[in-house]
Amino acid sequence: MSFFDKVKQGASDAAKKAQQTVEITKLKAQISSKEKEIEKIYGLIGESVYTAYVAGDPSRYGEIVESYSQGIAAVKLDIEGLEQKLIEVRGEKECVCGKVVPSETKFCSSCGHQFA
Protein backbone atom coordinates (compact mmCIF):
# COMPACT_ATOMS: atom_id res chain seq x y z
CA MET A 1 0.00 0.00 0.00
CA SER A 2 1.41 3.42 -0.97
CA PHE A 3 1.73 6.26 1.49
CA PHE A 4 -1.29 8.08 0.02
CA ASP A 5 -3.39 4.94 0.08
CA LYS A 6 -2.52 4.56 3.75
CA VAL A 7 -3.52 8.17 4.43
CA LYS A 8 -6.79 7.68 2.54
CA GLN A 9 -7.43 4.43 4.38
CA GLY A 10 -6.76 6.16 7.71
CA ALA A 11 -9.19 8.99 6.91
CA SER A 12 -11.85 6.53 5.82
CA ASP A 13 -11.37 4.48 9.00
CA ALA A 14 -11.65 7.64 11.10
CA ALA A 15 -14.88 8.61 9.30
CA LYS A 16 -16.28 5.13 9.90
CA LYS A 17 -15.30 5.31 13.55
CA ALA A 18 -16.99 8.72 13.92
CA GLN A 19 -20.15 7.41 12.24
CA GLN A 20 -20.10 4.41 14.58
CA THR A 21 -19.74 6.67 17.63
CA VAL A 22 -22.75 8.74 16.50
CA GLU A 23 -24.78 5.56 15.99
CA ILE A 24 -23.80 4.18 19.41
CA THR A 25 -24.67 7.46 21.15
CA LYS A 26 -28.05 7.52 19.38
CA LEU A 27 -28.88 3.93 20.36
CA LYS A 28 -27.83 4.51 23.98
CA ALA A 29 -30.09 7.58 24.17
CA GLN A 30 -32.99 5.56 22.76
CA ILE A 31 -32.41 2.77 25.30
CA SER A 32 -32.23 5.25 28.16
CA SER A 33 -35.48 6.91 27.07
CA LYS A 34 -37.20 3.49 26.90
CA GLU A 35 -35.94 2.71 30.41
CA LYS A 36 -37.45 5.97 31.64
CA GLU A 37 -40.72 4.94 29.98
CA ILE A 38 -40.71 1.74 32.07
CA GLU A 39 -40.05 3.73 35.26
CA LYS A 40 -43.07 5.87 34.39
CA ILE A 41 -45.27 2.80 33.93
CA TYR A 42 -44.13 1.46 37.33
CA GLY A 43 -45.37 4.73 38.81
CA LEU A 44 -48.66 4.48 36.95
CA ILE A 45 -49.23 0.96 38.32
CA GLY A 46 -48.80 2.23 41.86
CA GLU A 47 -51.03 5.23 41.30
CA SER A 48 -53.77 3.19 39.62
CA VAL A 49 -53.75 0.48 42.28
CA TYR A 50 -53.90 3.14 44.98
CA THR A 51 -56.79 4.89 43.20
CA ALA A 52 -58.66 1.58 43.03
CA TYR A 53 -57.92 1.03 46.74
CA VAL A 54 -59.28 4.46 47.66
CA ALA A 55 -62.37 3.78 45.53
CA GLY A 56 -62.83 0.53 47.48
CA ASP A 57 -62.43 -1.54 44.33
CA PRO A 58 -59.65 -4.11 44.96
CA SER A 59 -61.13 -6.37 42.28
CA ARG A 60 -59.44 -4.08 39.72
CA TYR A 61 -55.89 -4.67 41.02
CA GLY A 62 -55.27 -7.71 38.80
CA GLU A 63 -56.58 -6.01 35.67
CA ILE A 64 -54.45 -2.89 36.32
CA VAL A 65 -51.26 -4.86 36.92
CA GLU A 66 -51.95 -7.10 33.92
CA SER A 67 -52.47 -4.30 31.40
CA TYR A 68 -49.54 -2.15 32.55
CA SER A 69 -47.26 -5.19 32.71
CA GLN A 70 -48.06 -5.96 29.09
CA GLY A 71 -46.98 -2.40 28.28
CA ILE A 72 -43.70 -2.92 30.15
CA ALA A 73 -43.08 -6.20 28.31
CA ALA A 74 -43.53 -4.43 24.97
CA VAL A 75 -41.08 -1.67 25.91
CA LYS A 76 -38.56 -4.28 27.16
CA LEU A 77 -38.81 -6.00 23.79
CA ASP A 78 -37.97 -2.66 22.11
CA ILE A 79 -34.96 -2.30 24.42
CA GLU A 80 -33.76 -5.80 23.52
CA GLY A 81 -33.93 -4.89 19.84
CA LEU A 82 -31.95 -1.69 20.43
CA GLU A 83 -29.34 -3.57 22.48
CA GLN A 84 -29.01 -6.07 19.64
CA LYS A 85 -28.39 -3.19 17.21
CA LEU A 86 -25.83 -1.71 19.62
CA ILE A 87 -23.93 -5.01 19.62
CA GLU A 88 -23.93 -5.06 15.79
CA VAL A 89 -22.83 -1.42 15.46
CA ARG A 90 -19.94 -2.09 17.86
CA GLY A 91 -18.84 -4.97 15.63
CA GLU A 92 -19.66 -7.56 18.26
CA LYS A 93 -21.92 -10.58 18.53
CA GLU A 94 -23.71 -12.33 21.35
CA CYS A 95 -22.99 -15.93 22.28
CA VAL A 96 -25.74 -18.43 23.18
CA CYS A 97 -24.54 -18.06 26.80
CA GLY A 98 -25.15 -14.29 26.71
CA LYS A 99 -21.49 -13.20 26.55
CA VAL A 100 -20.80 -10.39 24.06
CA VAL A 101 -17.64 -11.00 22.01
CA PRO A 102 -15.91 -9.35 19.01
CA SER A 103 -17.56 -10.44 15.73
CA GLU A 104 -14.43 -12.22 14.45
CA THR A 105 -14.35 -14.52 17.52
CA LYS A 106 -14.48 -18.23 16.64
CA PHE A 107 -14.86 -19.69 20.15
CA CYS A 108 -16.59 -18.11 23.14
CA SER A 109 -14.09 -17.40 25.93
CA SER A 110 -16.79 -17.98 28.51
CA CYS A 111 -18.53 -21.22 27.48
CA GLY A 112 -16.41 -22.52 24.59
CA HIS A 113 -19.26 -22.31 22.07
CA GLN A 114 -18.03 -22.52 18.47
CA PHE A 115 -19.45 -19.87 16.16
CA ALA A 116 -20.49 -20.88 12.65
Minimum gap (Å) between residue 91 Cβ and Zn ion = 18
Binding-site member from 9, 12, 20, 110 for Zn ion (CB under 5 A)? 110
Name the region of 28 (left: φ>0; alpha: ψ -120 to 50; beta: rest): alpha
What ranges in the chain are assigned the alpha helix state H?
Answer: 3-54, 61-89
Binding-site member from 108, 114, 115, 116 for Zn ion (CB under 5 A)? 108
Minimum gap (Å) between residue 116 Cβ and Zn ion = 13
Backbone φ and ψ for 106, nearest 5 degrees, come out as -100, -35
**Burial class, 21, CB count within 10 angstroms (exposed 0-12 / middle 13-18 / buried 19+):** exposed
Q: Which residues pair with 92 in a beta bridge?
A: 102
Task: Answer yes or no whether residue 113 interacts with Zn ion by CB under 5 A.
Answer: yes
Task: Answer yes or no whether residue 111 interacts with Zn ion by CB under 5 A.
Answer: yes
Binding residues among 81-100 for Zn ion as defined by CB under 5 A: 95, 97, 99
Minimum gap (Å) between residue 100 Cβ and Zn ion = 10
Give me the residues that bind Zn ion (CB under 5 A), please: 95, 97, 99, 108, 110-111, 113
